[in-house]
Structure 1
Amino acid sequence: MVSTVEVFDPRVGCWMAGESMNDSRGYSAAVVIGNSIFVIGGLNEDGKVLDTVECYKEGIGWQSTTSRAVGKRCFFSAILL
């Protein structure tokens, strides 16, 4: 489980290191809504399934939100239509 983030920049066609999340997690889902990235659920370093949500906004960075996933989730995807 990691807190590191990799960001793809289509303008230059490569991946680069982004600002790390507050919490280490793996097997989470991510979705972009507007100008924000939301990372939902996953597993923490102790193998605990999470219901927490972190939000990234450029210029502000990663923040924990008061939102919670609909139950604890891992090994899933999130898509916004």
Structure 2
Amino acid sequence: KHPRVQSMLEADVWFEPAVVIEVLGAEITLSPVHTCAIDAIRKESGLAIRFPRFTGNYRFDKSAEDATTDKEIVKTYRNQLKKLGES
């Protein structure tokens, strides 16, 4: 596992963070497994994309350091909750 990768998962293969891709998903959900923004919303829970799909777009204009941050994902998750509350 690359030192910049923070994960509790045991993967068969790890890749060095180098390429930024675009993904779409049904929603962002709380996850007991994934560590994105762990403890930011609920203790011992991270955030995950439900039904993630690769759009086919590689973002060659961005480096791995320019990818969406934990804070941005938390903001998106909270906005999603607000929209659900308005429905």
TM category, shorter: under 0.3
TM-score w.r.t. the length of structure 1 is 0.26
Greater relative contact order, per chain length (Cα 8 Å cut-off, separation 6+) = 2
Higher helix share: 2
TM-score w.r.t. the length of structure 2 is 0.25
Higher strand share: 1
